[in-house]
Amino acid sequence: MELSEEEYSKLTEGEKRLYRRKQTKNGNKNLYKIAREKGVKNFDKFTNTGYKGLYNVETANEIAKRKGLRYREDILDNMGSVELGANIFRITQTEALLKKQEELSENIATNTHYRVGKAVETLLKI
């Protein structure tokens, strides 16, 4: 379900977080499907490389540790709406670039994910 800007602005932070969490989950499904088509087999490495770009070289486990999460607790379930928004942007932009990728190459796809994550991280510092 898509919300208008006005509808979204009326949501509480908790509702915004849940809305963006669902977008993130669906976005990751689409991203992984395209990544698989581009030759990605090691999805842990692919995922962590995107996080390393966005989170200044932190892996998912390091992010979880910094946030004080329990073992195997999903970091995405413990992000606010703004942080989830940054991840959605990383996901959608990586997906767009992978669609343009002609060569089947796990390395190219993984490096693309890192570069997009880094670009989003740099943008957020402005």
Residue 108 domain-assigned (yes or no) = yes
Report the distance separating Cα 110 and Cα 77, nearest Å.
24
Residue 6 domain-assigned (yes or no) = no
Residue 84 domain-assigned (yes or no) = yes
Range of the domain at 111: 12-124
Residue 35 domain-assigned (yes or no) = yes
Pair 90, 55: CB distance under 8 Å: no
Residue 59 domain-assigned (yes or no) = yes
**pTM strictly above 0.85:** yes
What is residue 79's three-state secondary structure? coil
> Given pLDDT bands bounded at 50, 70 and 90, which one contains residue 126?
low
Report the distance separating Cα 115 and Cα 86, nearest Å.
14
Report in angstroms the alpha-carbon separations of 57 from 76, 94, 118: 17, 17, 9
How many domains is the chain built from? Answer: 1
Residue 85 domain-assigned (yes or no) = yes
pLDDT tens column, 63-112: 999 999 998 899 999 999 999 999 999 999 999 999 999 999 999 999 99
